[in-house]
Amino acid sequence: MENLKELIKNRRSVRTYDGRELTAEDKEKLLAFMEKTENPYGINVAFKLMDAGEHGLKCPVVVGTELYVGGKIKRVPFAFEAFGYAFEMLVLYAQSLGIGTVWLGGTMNRQAYEAAMELGDDEMMPCASPLGYPASKMSWRESMMRKAIKADERLPFEALFFDGSFDTPLTEEKAGKLAHPLDMVRWAPSAVNKQPWRAVVKDNAVHFYLKRAKGFGGHEGLDMQKIDMGIALCHFDLAARECGLKLRFSQEDPEIPHDESMQYIATYRVD
Ligand SMILES: Cc1cc2nc3c(=O)[nH]c(=O)nc-3n(C[C@H](O)[C@H](O)[C@H](O)COP(=O)(O)O)c2cc1C
């Protein structure tokens, strides 16, 4: 199996599939994994496989597969971050099996997906993803879409991460043992590739902030950028642990001065 760095760097959104159904073995592995995803908030995420034909699921940007996975979670504080973390674990696991995914929050007939997930009154389905084997060539629509949102690009390290305060960009050299886990955050997927994750490294702690993009306040009670933050926490946590770092998750706002577009999310202390 590829190591985590390769999984993260080789993952890309897959919207064009080759039409083959998942093998029974791959499906079983995914189902088993879905039972054991975790997140630092301890909020349960329930996954379900869904057939597009059976439930009338439509996603105009996806071709070549009929299989989808959705996740549901209770509408409680930090549910978006928890969901982002847990669903990204599944995305990376699928990648390790050669199965493509793309996070879907908007470009689908959401009501049909939500009905298929059989949501309880206090539950939501923040996102879903198709599952299948990537086609060797992307559809024209997918390649146009990737170009439009510059999906292959990421902001530079120094624009995302800071040293002690938001006034001082953090260089990779200065980041030392944190450079790799932070770089793995850089390669995370995010809604419309907005990359809202920011982090300040201070006194052996990494404080994560959300830099809200204009007009991304969350529609229909769904906060895609908080989901992005959960994905970032997942990449950081997995990569740091793989490097042997001992982490402690906490929510203790360090009250680092920041502008109003920024919001504190969570902290990893490095022991
Ligand atoms: C929370 C979230 C929601 C997303 N929603 C959609 C969507 O509705 N439709 C879509 O085609 N891609 C969606 N994406 C995929 C992003 O556009 C993609 O991750 C980003 O452009 C970076 O490209 P990459 O995943 O290939 O690295 C979403 C991603 C995230 C994290």
Q: Does 149 reside within a domain?
A: no
In this prediction, residue 114 has a pLDDT band, given cuts at 50, 70 and 90, of very high
Q: Does 152 reside within a domain?
A: no
What pLDDT is recorded for position 154?
98
Q: Does 10 reside within a domain?
A: yes
Residues 133 and 226 in one domain: no
- Joined tokens for residue 258: 């920041």
Q: How many CB atoms lie within 10 A of CB 100?
A: 25
Ligand 1 centroid – CA 262 distance (Å): 21
Residues 166 and 224 in one domain: yes
What pLDDT is recorded for position 210?
97
Q: Does 170 reside within a domain?
A: yes
Residues 124 and 11 in one domain: yes
Residues 8 and 57 in one domain: yes
Boundary residue ending a domain (89, 105, 140)? 140
Residues 19 and 136 in one domain: yes
When pLDDT is averaged across residues 162-188 and rounded to a whole number, the result is 98
Q: How many CB atoms lie within 10 A of CB 58?
A: 13
Q: Does 175 reside within a domain?
A: yes
From 59, 144, 193, 216, the mutation candidate for ligand 1 (largest count of ligand atoms within 8 A of CB) is 193
Strand-pairing partners, residue 123, are 74
Residues 262 and 201 in one domain: yes
Boundary residue ending a domain (140, 166, 185)? 140
| Cβ(127) – ligand 1 distance below 6 Å | yes
For ligand 1, what atom is nearest to the CA of residue 12?
A: 26
Between strands 197-202 and 161-163, the pairing is parallel
Q: Does 145 reside within a domain?
A: no
Amino acid making up residue 73: I
Amino acid making up residue 84: G
Ligand 1 centroid – CA 113 distance (Å): 17
Residues 59 and 94 in one domain: yes
CATH code assigned at 39: 3.40.109.10
Ligand 1 centroid – CA 90 distance (Å): 15
SS3 state of residue 145: helix
Express each pLDDT in 56-90 by its tens digit: 999 999 999 999 999 999 999 999 999 999 999 99
pLDDT at 227 over 50: yes
What pLDDT is recorded for position 214?
86
When pLDDT is averaged across residues 203-231 and rounded to a whole number, the result is 91
Residues 169 and 107 in one domain: no
**Whole-number average pLDDT of the chain:** 96
| Cβ(225) – ligand 1 distance below 6 Å | no
Residues 31 and 125 in one domain: yes
What pLDDT is recorded for position 153?
97
When pLDDT is averaged across residues 5-11 and rounded to a whole number, the result is 96
**Cα–Cα distance, 247 to 178 (Å, whole number):** 11
Q: How many CB atoms lie within 10 A of CB 7?
A: 18
Distance from chain centroid for Cα 245: 22
Residues in the chain: 271
**Cα–Cα distance, 257 to 271 (Å, whole number):** 24
Structural domain harbouring 170: 157-270
| Cβ(103) – ligand 1 distance below 6 Å | yes
Residue 217 phi/psi, 5-degree rounding, is -75, -5
When pLDDT is averaged across residues 191-211 and rounded to a whole number, the result is 97
| Sign of the C-alpha dihedral computed for residues 94, 96, 228 and 233 taken in this order | positive
- Joined tokens for residue 10: 């080789």
Residue 204 phi/psi, 5-degree rounding, is 60, 30
Would you say 205 and 254 are in contact if contact means Cβ atoms under 8 Å apart? yes
DSSP string, 196-263: -EEEEEETTEEEEEEEPPTT-S-BTTB-HHHHHHHHHHHHHHHHHHHTT--EEEE---------TTEE
What pLDDT is recorded for position 265?
98
pLDDT at 1 over 60: no
From 15, 87, 192, the mutation candidate for ligand 1 (largest count of ligand atoms within 8 A of CB) is 192
Amino acid making up residue 200: V
In this prediction, residue 219 has a pLDDT band, given cuts at 50, 70 and 90, of low
From 7, 8, 11, 13, the mutation candidate for ligand 1 (largest count of ligand atoms within 8 A of CB) is 13
Boundary residue ending a domain (140, 173, 196)? 140
- Structural domains of the chain, count: 2
- Joined tokens for residue 223: 């906060």
CATH code assigned at 259: 3.40.109.30
